[in-house]
A and B are shown apart, each in its own frame.
Chain A
Amino acid sequence: NAGVTQTPKFQVLKTGQSMTLQCAQDMNHEYMSWYRQDPGMGLRLIHYSVGAGITDQGEVPNGYNVSRSTTEDFPLRLLSAAPSQTSVYFCASSNIYSNQPQHFGDGTRLSIL
């Protein structure tokens, strides 16, 4: 049981480049989300999805796009990378019911030069 798998684990980009962070889960969870974690701050929600074909914005969505074509996959796209997007990105999934824990991936550490 792999849980939530994120790739790549590390990435360095130049300003203006685009890339896609991959996230896959094998638990048949309806709910998936993307967070960023910056030093001295709590996890902040970027985008989330309550099922295939349904996505919505979180607290800090600017500069990021998502899509949910399958239950298993929820990729995060950086359209034009900026140094302010240097962060650690976590993908999470859970059962749709609010009393269920979120399962997190191990993160993608992204540096924008």
Chain B
Amino acid sequence: KNQVEQSPQSLIILEGKNCTLQCNYTVSPFSNLRWYKQDTGRGPVSLTIMTFSENTKSNGRYTATLDADTKQSSLHITASQLSDSASYICVVSSVLYSGGGADGLTFGKGTHLIIQP
């Protein structure tokens, strides 16, 4: 069964510090990996999408990495700000619409990040 595991479940850091969130997956075949940010009371917003051939992709202070061989991804947040407090969701897409949900997407449960002043 296709699965996406995220760690840690929750994380508290001080404003200005860096942090790294992890995503391990068993989805096969692999099409792309997405990171979303979900603010409290809002819908998820896409941060990055990476295909098999991409190792790193940045979006401002957010940098995602992908190791397709070990099926691991990380999201690194640099110089955290209070506005980074949110849940971060890793989503893996399979090429064939046969794994996870019927639309080929398997969602992680998310990492809840709290930035303290």
Which positions in A face B, CB cutoff 8 Å?
4, 31, 33, 40-45, 48, 56-59, 90, 92, 98-107
Quick one: which of A42, A48, A103 contacts B102, CB cutoff 8 A? A48
Quick one: which of B95, B101, B109 contacts A98, CB cutoff 8 A? B95
B4 neighbours in A (Cβ, 8 Å): 42
Quick one: which of A33, A101, A103 contacts B49, CB cutoff 8 A? A101
Q: Mark B71-105, 1 if CB is under 8 A from A, else 0.
A: 00000000000000000010001010000111111
Contact-residue size bin, chain B (C-beta under 8 Å from the other chain): 20 to 34
Cα of A105 to Cα of B41 in the assembled complex, Å = 11
Cα of A5 to Cα of B95 in the assembled complex, Å = 28
Cα of A52 to Cα of B102 in the assembled complex, Å = 18
Cα of A33 to Cα of B108 in the assembled complex, Å = 18
The residue of chain A having its C-beta at the shortest distance from the C-beta of B43 within the complex is A104
A-B contact pairs, 30 of them (CB 8 A): A4-B43, A31-B103, A40-B109, A41-B109, A42-B107, A42-B108, A42-B109, A42-B110, A43-B107, A44-B101, A44-B107, A45-B101, A45-B103, A45-B105, A48-B102, A56-B102, A59-B101, A90-B44, A98-B31, A98-B95, A99-B32, A99-B93, A101-B46, A101-B49, A102-B44, A105-B43, A106-B42, A106-B43, A107-B42, A107-B43
